[in-house]
Chain A
Amino acid sequence: MIQTDHLTKHYQMGDNIVKALDDVTLHIPKGSFVSIVGPSGSGKSTLMNQLGCLDIPTSGHYRLDGIEVSTMNDNQLAEIRNQKIGFVFQGFDLISKLTAIENVELPLIYAGVGSRQREMRAKEALDKVGLSERIHHIPAELSGGQQQRVAIARALITNPPLILADEPTGNLDSHSGQEIMGLFKSLYQNGNTIVIITHDEHIAEQAQRILRILDGRIVEDREVS
């Protein structure tokens, strides 16, 4: 599913070069549930941006679902993100003036899917995350946990091979956080590939595999028993 090959990302900061990612070679097979942990500034978000096709590497290669991504232009990356990846962000990141169902439909709009199909699939996705009652509410009318579930429904709607979540429980109380993790687990059990970035060890332990990152390098890679 995910195959990186000596992936590096350097940032020029004045005279110094910050090695945000340093020679990361990584393989994540289809159907895995992986968490990436590390302290602040270790390069988690940088890795997420690479895996999420939001950015191209300074050097190295990245193959997602068998497609070489590291040399693509902006438009091609946008298309890959739309088709292959479902994003869940820390701040939920819903569009505030759109209702739950309109937010969920958004990736399908950019994929060029017709409105009837969109509505059907959005309802299905919201059903999966247990929010079929609240589809016409705007984000401000939903709790944090509910908003995050809308975001997950949005990530699911295109049936992407990869679901990427950056601190998905970071803004939630532990109870809602646990509910969201339960949702990810059931998605994993249904065969989705899930990568969660977190600095919460407790959350990380709930995945099937943990990757620890420090100063842009993978320093630990272990299966959770």
Chain B
Amino acid sequence: MGIFQAYKMAIKSIKSNKVRSFLTMLGVIIGVAAVIMAVALAQGSTVSITEQISSLGTELITVRVTPFNTNRDITWEDFQDFADDNSDVFSAMSPLISSQTTVKSGISTNTVDTTINGTTADYEMIKKQGVQEGRYIGDIDIDFRQPIAVIGTYTAAELFGQEEAVGKTIKLQNRLFTVVGVLTELEGGNQGTVDDQIIIPLSTAQRVLRNTRITNYSFLASSADAVDQAIEKLKSYLLEIYGDESMYRVQNAEQMLETLDSVTGTMMTVLGGIAAISLLVGGIGIMNIMLVSVTERTREIGIRKAIGAKRKNILTQFLIEALIITGIGGIAGLLLGCAAIWTLGRLGVVPSVYSPFWMVFSFGISLLVGVIFGMFPANKAASLNPIAALRHE
């Protein structure tokens, strides 16, 4: 008897009990759908986080210093000197003071709550955001503590509506500032984005915001290859001036991506474990139903054996039955999973990521589950004594 015959027999017995076969498959369907959905969620969210991190640029290195740092004599000019001294690995450096404040229009009653960033001219290069009108802040503005501002398009629209912003004045902490430029719109002019901010000279900010402590520095490595060396130099410099590693933190997109990678890895392991358990449960379901089926069909097995079925014929028949159930269940699970991934993508929850490896893998696992959990019932059926089986009611 060939495999094809065993296959036909199995199909027949699956068809003869459709509802039960479907319920048996359900465990596998859910298991497989869960696996590929879990993987897609993990990979989809990784993709979107990776995009966000990469958009910062891998050359960007951020240093955060605690406000309670032990060395009060360090100024941002020291960092500037350090960057200039190491221009082989650093192409730009800028300190940053940030604050959330209400700003008033100098010509109307309009106000807006926005982020004030006090920084230097290099910030333009570091953030890769120039101006679409007017000019950016320059070194001279910092030297002379100029009351000027460069504002985002959202902020401009909130304060001046359709009117030209450059040349107008704004009121910040009761001081008047002249708008000298409008930042290039990068994120659709939306609230809470880089289009919603005001950039003023660092020195002006220190006075207006009454904050001389700079805790945030951005460095731009001269190239992607220089990043590691730049971080190295920066760390030893920081250690030298602060003498305590807990005083500062150095961050880089590359390193964040690595961290993300390991987080994703952990997430996949956890999800894989959960998925494996759900497939295991599906497998136990299959074993359970098949054991019932063997008992129910004892007489049939007896007849088959009496008329010449060998042990291996019965074994293959039942094993193939388990394989077909898990196979169909696996395919249905894949379709269900893909439909769910597509829907989530459509709804904008996570980007749709279809991973062929995981699809093949989870389908393979479902077949393996079929073999492993089908083996015990199939073996039980194949081992039945024909005389006892024929006497079975």
Give the residue of A81, A83, A89, A97 whose beta carbon is less than 8 angstroms from that of B13.
A97
- Give 26 CB contacts A-B under 8 Å: A52-B306, A54-B387, A55-B387, A74-B310, A75-B310, A78-B308, A78-B309, A78-B310, A79-B310, A81-B306, A81-B307, A87-B306, A87-B307, A89-B303, A89-B390, A93-B299, A93-B390, A95-B303, A95-B304, A96-B300, A97-B13, A106-B307, A109-B5, A110-B309, A110-B313, A112-B1
Residue of chain B at shortest CB distance from A80: B308
Tell me if A107 is interfacial: C-beta within 8 Å of chain B.
yes
B313 partner residues in chain A, CB cutoff 8 A: 110
The answer, yes or no, to whether B2 is at the interface (CB within 8 Å) is: yes
B16 interface contact, C-beta 8 A: yes
Q: Determine if A224 is an interface residue (Cβ-Cβ < 8 Å).
A: no
Q: How far is the CB of B214 from chain A (nearest CB, A)?
A: 82
B380 close to A (CB within 8 Å): no
Interface pair B303/A93, CB less than 8 Å apart: yes
Residue of A whose beta carbon sits closest to that of B308: A82
| Residues of the A chain whose Cβ atoms lie less than 8 Å from the Cβ of B304 | 95, 106, 110
Judged by a CB distance under 8 angstroms, whether A132 is at the interface is no
Q: How large is the interface on B (under 10, 10 to 19, 20 to 34, 35 or more residues)?
A: 20 to 34
Query: Are B307 and A97 in contact (CB-based, < 8 A)?
Result: no
The contact string, 1 if C-beta is below 8 Å from chain B, for chain A 62-106, is: 000000000000110011011100010100011111100000001
Bound-state CA distance A79–B305 (Å) is 10
Residues of B275-334 whose CB lies within 8 A of A: 299-300, 302-311, 313
A106: nearest residue on chain B (CB-CB)?
B307
List B contacts of A96 (CB < 8 A): 300
Task: For A112, list chain B residues within 8 Å (CB).
Answer: 1-2
B308 proximity list for chain A (CB < 8 A)? 78-79, 81-83, 107, 110-111
Question: A171 near B: Cβ within 8 Å?
Answer: no
Provide the residues of chain B in CB contact with A93, threshold 8 Å.
Answer: 299, 302-303, 390
Q: A78-B308, A79-B310, A93-B299 are in contact. List 16 more A-B contacts (CB 8 A).
A: A55-B387, A78-B305, A83-B308, A87-B307, A89-B306, A93-B390, A94-B303, A95-B300, A95-B304, A97-B13, A98-B12, A106-B307, A109-B5, A110-B304, A110-B313, A112-B2
Residues of B within 8 A of A149 (CB): none
CA distance A87 to B387 in the complex (A): 13
- Nearest A-chain residue to B393, judged by Cβ: A91
Q: How many A-B residue pairs have CB under 8 A?
A: 59
A residues less than 8 Å from B12 (CB atoms): 97-98
Chain B residue contacts of A75, Cβ below 8 A: 310-311
The interface residues of chain A lying within 8 Å CB-to-CB of B300 are 95-96
Chain B residues positioned under 8 Å from A95 (CB to CB) = 300, 303-304
In the complex, how many angstroms separate the beta carbon of B262 from the nearest chain A beta carbon?
55
B386 within 8 A of A: yes
**Which residue of A49, A75, A95, A112 has the most chain B CB atoms within 10 A of its CB atom?**
A95
Contact partner, B311, options A55, A74, A81, Cβ 8 Å: A74
Among A74, A78, A82, A110, chain B packs the most CB atoms within 10 A around the CB of A78
Contact indicator B306/A54 (Cβ below 8 Å): yes
CA distance A55 to B302 in the complex (A): 13
Contacts of A121 in B (CB 8 A): none
Interface set, chain A 129-184, CB cutoff 8 A to B: 154
What CA separation (Å) do A181 and B16 show in the bound complex? 34
Q: Which of A54, A82, A97, A109 contacts B16 (CB 8 A)?
A: A97
One digit per residue, 1 when the CB lies within 8 angstroms of any chain A CB and 0 when it does not, for chain B 16-55 equals 1000000000000000000000000000000000000000
A79 to B311, CA, bound (A): 11
Do A110 and B307 touch (CB < 8 A)? yes
Listed from nearest, the 6 A-B pairs whose CB atoms lie closest are A82-B308, A110-B308, A97-B16, A78-B310, A107-B307, A93-B303
Q: How far is the CB of B259 from chain A (nearest CB, A)?
A: 59
**Whole-angstrom distance between the Cβ of A26 and the nearest chain B Cβ:** 20
Q: How far is the CA of A142 from the CA of B390 in the complex (A)?
A: 21
Return the contact of A110 from the options B1, B13, B16 (Cβ within 8 A): B1
Chain A residues in 8 Å Cβ range of B387: 49, 54-55
Least Cβ distance of B309 to chain A in Å? 5
A81 partner residues in chain B, CB cutoff 8 A: 306-308
